[in-house]
Amino acid sequence: MKVFVIGAGITGSLITRELSKYDLEVHVIEKAPDIGWGVTKANSAIVHGGYDDPPESVRAKFAVPGNELYDKLSKELEFDFLRTGSYVVAFKREDVEYLKKLKERGKKNGVTNLEILTAKELKEKEPNLNEEIIAALWCPTAGITEPWEVSIAAIENAQENGAIVHLGEKVTDIIVQNQRVKKILTDKGEYDADIVINAAGLFADEIAKMAGIGDFEIFPRKGEYILLDEKLKGLVNAVIFPTPTKKSKGILVVPTVDGGILLGPNAVDLPKDQKENLETTRDGLNEVYEKSRKLVPKIDLSYTVKTFAGLRPETKDKDFIIGATKVWGFINVVGIRSPGLTAAPAIAKYIAEKVLSEDLGLNLSKKLDFNPYRRKIPHLNDSNLKEWEELVKKDPSFGRTVCFCNNVSEGEILEAIRRGARTLDGVKFRTRASFGRCQGGFCSLKILEIISRELSIPLEEIKQNYENSWIIKGKVRP
């Protein structure tokens, strides 16, 4: 049986890995040149507690089980995951009433250990928050991760278990005969397919239309961010939410797994034809700054490392649409807006165990030799010096630092290239080289030279990320 997953974001990557546990021919097709470059690349990176989603929503069904799966998953796939906990803070009496509602909602969704703290209790844990805060809802099970790393790790592990990965290949059509999936067409070829899983993020409505399913549309909703330097590590220890608005969870202050501080996102609805509009705006960033400063007055923009934006794939009902469709073999996993990162591990299990096994009645057998483990690229900042010394003795390239902001060695960059990085961003997202304060000003050329040497390609051919993003045009002097 041939299964094709469309999209290697967090949803498609974890589904691909889950299906690689079974005796199936599993393919994942991704139009971008690398894994996790869609919605998965730019978000708040929070594994939410799961108290915020309406209990009757599909989101609520997957958020708490997804959150619970993160401990095991992060151990098997060796990606960064920290259970920092989160606070929703209240400035007014009405906000405290809302916190009580959230706590009740959390209980209904199965979130245990939610607690409302007084201002004094909060201050002991988070001394840098606004003195005007009068209470907070504490959720100890919330966490933070690096979403693209989860995707990369899942795909590496799926590949190890036999999945076939097609990067830089765009699905252009789906052939359906007698209300059954037959073929999948791409800009590079065509494949016989029994099952197609639509995990195409912002473009999932276009994919569904290819299969004759036009019952939903995806609208982009932009969220802008400011990332601050790791020198501010400890400014907050947990994720800080304001009391939510009807439109969104509000603008947050989030510690990142590598010690930085992330501010954002705002929420701006864009027209349907702007699914690639990732521009940041002066107004948007000002809003992010003002609202995050209200939570943590010490925020200092002189520590800004970069600004960026992400796009939420919203449906009319603001809920996930997951399951089989009227076309046998065509499965939708769409409208995966927040908390999609949190929910994705549970969605992946549901696709295998419920949708394929029960709804489609497939008799799936598990591989006896499935290997759940993926080893991460060693990183100096995560190792003790003794371990690192041993590594350098074995391979001196781990002793040659290339990115000084984030302490990334040549050995790590070589390993990223061995694992599939072909662009500067491919190296960046696998190693954090050029992710630091200088944003690649110092190390980009060195990384380009390493890629060029290892892959035997001229410098001029290496891209930043997508098709036309060349960096070097040629020599200024002969």
Ligand X SMILES: Cc1cc2nc3c(=O)[nH]c(=O)nc-3n(C[C@H](O)[C@H](O)[C@H](O)COP(=O)(O)OP(=O)(O)OC[C@H]3O[C@@H](n4cnc5c(N)ncnc54)[C@H](O)[C@@H]3O)c2cc1C
- Site residues (CB under 6 A) for ligand X? 6-12, 29-32, 37-40, 43-46, 48, 147, 170-171, 199-203, 207, 223, 265, 310-312, 336-342
Q: How far is the CB of 68 from ligand X (least distance, A)?
A: 14
Q: Which two tokens stand for residue 425?
A: 């961003």
Q: How far is the CB of 86 from ligand X (least distance, A)?
A: 10
Q: Which of 27, 48, 166, 379 is catalytic?
A: 48
Contacts of 12 (CB under 8 A, 6+ apart): 5, 6, 28, 30, 197, 199, 200, 333
Determine the residue with CB nearest ligand X: 340
Is residue 68 within 8 Å of 11, Cβ to Cβ?
A: no
Q: How far is the CB of 81 from ligand X (least distance, A)?
A: 12
Tell me how far CA of residue 341 lies from CA of 11, 14, 88, 128, in angstroms. Answer: 8, 10, 19, 28
Cis peptide before 458 (omega within 30 of 0): no
The distance in angstroms from the start CA to the end CA of the chain is 56
User: What one-character-per-residue DSSP string does 327-358 give?
Assistant: SBTEEEEE---TTHHHHHHHHHHHIIIIIIII
Token look-up 């940041």 returns 280
Q: Tell me the sheet residues that pair with 28.
A: 5, 165
Contacts of 154 (CB under 8 A, 6+ apart): 13, 14, 16, 17, 77
Determine the 3-state secondary structure of 308 from DSSP.
strand
Q: Between residues 407 and 464, which has the closer beta carbon with respect to ligand X?
A: 464
Is 48 one of the annotated active-site residues of the chain? yes
Q: How far is the CB of 39 from ligand X (least distance, A)?
A: 3
Q: Between residues 411 and 426, which has the closer beta carbon with respect to ligand X?
A: 426
Q: Between residues 29 and 403, which has the closer beta carbon with respect to ligand X?
A: 29
Is residue 305 within 8 Å of 186, Cβ to Cβ?
A: no
Q: Between residues 198 and 444, which has the closer beta carbon with respect to ligand X?
A: 198
Q: Between residues 193 and 391, which has the closer beta carbon with respect to ligand X?
A: 193
Q: How far is the CB of 132 from ligand X (least distance, A)?
A: 25
Q: Which residues are catalytic?
A: 48
